[in-house]
């Protein structure tokens, strides 16, 4: 992780749950972290809870609704202007609607899920990559900068390393059958299947541009966060094992710690004893 020290990471959905755990872990690993959230004050509270003044200075809270393209563009512009760009993106923000896919008058809830889970990720990854592919390694001679394959056959000779990590779900691998007694998962698994396909598309595109940007996903099982609808909270917490947000953050740190030549496609983690 030492090579990431003082680099800039952006975490979407940083106000709670997995996003907050990832933001905190990245700060403790020595990165500058920009936490994006609609609830900006929750990220500010997380910053205040950090133990040292140096750690608190490393966490920046920005209000950003990732469903709004203009807000995402402005957030990444701020990171570029104030911190020099972005080297790591943790695309985490997501929601789960409380409706049925075939239910009446469900358009608003379904649209919010799609716009957050898919389009919000599209905006964030796009803006991150546009910054990452332009960053150069300081100290190299001018002739060694730029896109292309280096003498040793390395992609993006002279370019800074970047990493996009997308928080997905086991619901993007198989649609869980919760049975008729529990609420429908509606469009949520479909958005997670989309993220699974998008990760491979990004991998191909990043390679096409001959960059040193990697892209990975983490697909956790049930995590104890407030994304779960109230109807599921009581049943799941009482009867099913759950991961903690820190379990996911630990997986994120492991992905970042792998050598630059290692492309981690996906990590699937489940709580021991999960029934799905």
Catalytic residues: 188
In the Cβ-directed half-sphere of 69, how many Cα atoms lie within 13 Å? 5
Structure-token pair, residue 271: 């709580």
């Amino acid at each position: 992780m030492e090579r990431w020290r003082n680099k800039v990471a952006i975490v979407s959905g940083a106000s709670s749950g997995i996003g907050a755990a990832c933001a905190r872990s990245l700060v403790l690993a020595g990165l500058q972290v920009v936490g994006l959230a609609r609830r900006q004050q929750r990220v500010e509270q997380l910053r205040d809870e950090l133990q040292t003044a140096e750690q608190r200075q490393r966490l920046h809270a920005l209000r950003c609704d990732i469903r709004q393209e203009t807000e995402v563009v402005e957030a990444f512009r701020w990171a570029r202007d104030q911190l020099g760009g972005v080297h790591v993106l943790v695309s985490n923000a997501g929601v789960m609607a409380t409706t049925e896919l075939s239910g009446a008058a469900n358009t608003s809830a379904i649209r919010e899920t799609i716009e957050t889970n898919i389009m919000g990720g599209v905006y964030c990854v796009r803006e991150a990559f546009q910054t990452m592919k332009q960053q150069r390694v300081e100290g190299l001679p001018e002739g060694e900068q730029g896109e292309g394959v280096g003498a040793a056959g390395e992609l993006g000779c002279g370019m800074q390393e970047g990493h996009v990590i997308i928080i997905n779900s086991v619901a993007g691998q198989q649609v869980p059958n919760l049975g008729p007694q529990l609420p429908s998962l509606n469009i949520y698994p479909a958005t997670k299947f989309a993220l699974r396909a998008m990760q491979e598309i990004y991998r191909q595109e990043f390679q096409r541009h001959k960059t040193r940007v990697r892209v990975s996903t983490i697909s956790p099982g049930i995590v104890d966060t407030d994304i779960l609808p109230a109807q599921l909270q009581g049943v799941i917490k009482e009867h099913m094992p759950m991961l903690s947000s820190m379990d996911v953050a630990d997986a994120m740190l492991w992905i970042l710690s792998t050598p630059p030549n290692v492309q981690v496609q996906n990590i699937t983690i489940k709580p021991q004893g999960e029934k799905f």
